[in-house]
Amino acid sequence: MAVARKCVLMSDQKAKNFAHWAKLAQAELKDIPVETLNRDYGGIPVQPVYFGEGAEVPGAEPFTRGVRATMYANRPWTIRQYAGFSTARESNAFYRQALEKGQKGLSVAFDLATHRGYDSDHPRVVGDVGKAGVAIDSVEDMKILFDGIPLDKMSVSMTMNGAVIPVLAMFIVAAEEQGVSQAKLEGTIQNDVLKEFMVRNTYIYPPEPSMRIVGDIIAYTARHMPKFNSISISGYHMHEAGATAVQELAFTLADGMEYVRAAQARGLDIDKFAGRLSFFFGIGMNFFLEVSKLRAARQLWSEIMTGLGAKDPRSKMLRTHCQTSGVSLTEQDPHNNIVRTTIEALAATLGGTQSLHTNSFDEAIALPTEFSSRIARNTQLILQHESRITDVVDPLGGSYYVEALTAELVEGAKKLIGEAEAQGGMTKAVQSGGPKLEIEKAAALRQARVDRGEDVIVGVNRYRLDVEDAIEVRDIDNAKVRAEQIALLARVRASRDEAKCQSMLAALREFAAMDEGNLLDAAVAAARARATLGEISQAMEDVFGRHAAVTRVISGVYAQGYGDDPEFASIAGRIEAFKKSRGRAPSIFIAKMGQDGHDRGAKVIASAFADLGFLVHMGDLFETAGEVAAHADELKVDAVGVSSLAAGHKTLVPELVGALRDRELEDVTVIVGGVIPEQDYDFLLDCGVAAIFGPGTNVLSAAFSVLSQIEGRLSNR
């Protein structure tokens, strides 16, 4: 076989590596000669791959240098933008437009009501329907979502964990009614529930029945859906919650081990299902660390799968989707986010991802507009077509720095994985709360560094604009969307064979109670009979129960990041003076209303305020406005702090203010923090909110403002 031109004479090891690579590459290229991958840069010959004296080859175990020999030199990564909002019809129009403009795969974002297994007419989801994703109540919604999109030709990723059984069942039935068999379906269902108990909190059932669901889906897809990835094991949400790179690596891969063992416990051959496992990582701003993280992940997974009994090299490949960081986006000077996303996208691609989502620059403010979505999508298109990074496989391989970082990450992750294994695996570790606590500590320390200015965020804690330009944002009419969904739900229930539907739900309930049979099998039958998402979820909840997390607030970590800082000491001194004059500490209740489980911001605020001297009460997740008001009344707090990241603030906050008023608690200070478009500020202030804190707010400044608000209201009594 002819080989590609070389710029320098190769050593024996380099020549051996190149020959090994050329053989693997030719197998991937089939009838296309390897030499076609050569490039010429104005008289400079460029090979598709380069080697040092090390023995690692792209496409060969342990896959540190990539899961395919040719990587992007033959085929670039898949542009897979995560999107979904409002109704299925509006999301469908958005998808079709994106596909026409260069997007290659679909990634569906569901609203929080869907995630948590509630139909749109449920009283607990009034503010959540259609706000942070698309509302799916029945097969009819799923059919509309993919109308005109051929599911035998389109790869579809669905980020779903809590209501994973009904969502996947409805996807299967919608495809059937489009004329597409299960065997032809390509895509991924996230189905990664363990991380939900650590960070994202869109769980429904307790850990053990949740793990049963994971295993049932792996078994079902292995039998009926050979092209479909049964699980996407996610580190992304850990990254967003504040995990370090080592924590993200270790906990994600340890979760993966747990899922493999769950499938093996069902008698499945590891080499029969392992090739349908995939991963999902977040990519932040530490460029070389993020590149190295993906390389370390592949190496570690290869070793782990070998240890679990995998023989087929394809079973040991870590295939991953990546998403640029949401937590790195800033509300302040938001056009800087375009640069941040570009840097993160470059790290993901140089790290060897198989598909990528790039965030829109306005996502720290609201749902992305068509304008911002186009820039995000074009960021990837420019990297693919203009940057020439696709010409060479693993171009950073052999970098002294990258290789050293990769080795350090491998070593650190192995230590944490070992600690989880010593507890009996990640299910046990998650139940102990240890990983969740460690991630929260890391988040608090990071926030302290940002607030102190040690970690520079351009436009936030340095180089601030004097005046911020207004940004056009997408606004979803929650009431209108919910009314439309309720109307469609009513039509579905009125037109179905009710007896047949209830019979299928009873069978599902029986399967769950007997701990036998496959839950997805039974759910597909129920979905065909037009059982709704909420009804299918409730049938299993009747047996499994609904999980309620124990809320804990860490202490001392945020303060540790400040030491003897004078600004910290000044605010702590003001609070101490408050205690002396009032005979008590200023008190605040931190609330998460609606079905938004993202609690990083709430936890950081709770920890920091407690360290400053506030008496902090942390509410449970998923509470209603009435429940929060009842807590405020019982605890006699000075303030209620509402954390909102899922666009439900215009519905839920006025409800809370009204509920406090009904209890004659008008003197309680209401503050709101999170992803709040500036255009909504006046609306919230007019409702009675005292202060609003967006992403990037300095926590000490927030504490000063809240204390001033409390003191002002108390002095007016």
Which residues belong to the active site? 82, 236-237, 592, 596, 598
The answer for residues whose C-beta is within 8 angstroms of residue 494's C-beta and 6 or more apart is none
The two counts, helices (H) then strands (E), for the chain are 28, 16
Structure tokens at 288: 């070389």
Asked if residue 321 lies in contact with residue 353, where contact means CB atoms within 8 angstroms, the answer is yes
Q: What is each CA distance from 393 to 51, 319, 485, 687, in whole angstroms?
A: 10, 16, 48, 56
Asked if residue 175 lies in contact with residue 523, where contact means CB atoms within 8 angstroms, the answer is no
- What's the Rg (C-alpha) of the chain? 26
Structure tokens at 367: 């749902």
Alpha helices in 178-206 (DSSP H): 194-195
The answer for residues whose C-beta is within 8 angstroms of residue 683's C-beta and 6 or more apart is 650
Asked if residue 599 lies in contact with residue 439, where contact means CB atoms within 8 angstroms, the answer is no
String of DSSP letters for 558-583: HHHTTTT-HHHHHHHHHHHHHHHHHS
Reference 190, options 133, 137, 150, 245; nearest CA is 133
Reference 111, options 134, 91, 93; nearest CA is 134
Asked if residue 156 lies in contact with residue 168, where contact means CB atoms within 8 angstroms, the answer is no
Distance CA 340, CA 330 (A): 10
String of DSSP letters for 262-320: HHHHTT--HHHHGGGEEEEEEE-S-HHHHHHHHHHHHHHHHHHHHHTT--SGGGG---E
Q: Could you tell me how far CA 561 lies from the centroid of its own chain?
A: 27
Reference 268, options 313, 235, 221; nearest CA is 221
Reference 65, options 317, 310, 266, 438; nearest CA is 317
Q: What is each CA distance from 61 to 82, 289, 306, in whole angstroms?
A: 31, 22, 10
Longest CA–CA separation in the chain, Å:
89
Reference 561, options 698, 701, 447, 702; nearest CA is 447
Residue type, 352: G
The backbone torsions φ and ψ at residue 364, rounded to the nearest 5 degrees and listed phi first, read -80, -5
Residue type, 26: Q
Asked if residue 316 lies in contact with residue 261, where contact means CB atoms within 8 angstroms, the answer is no
Cβ burial, residue 2 (10 Å; 0-12/13-18/19+): exposed
SS3 4: coil
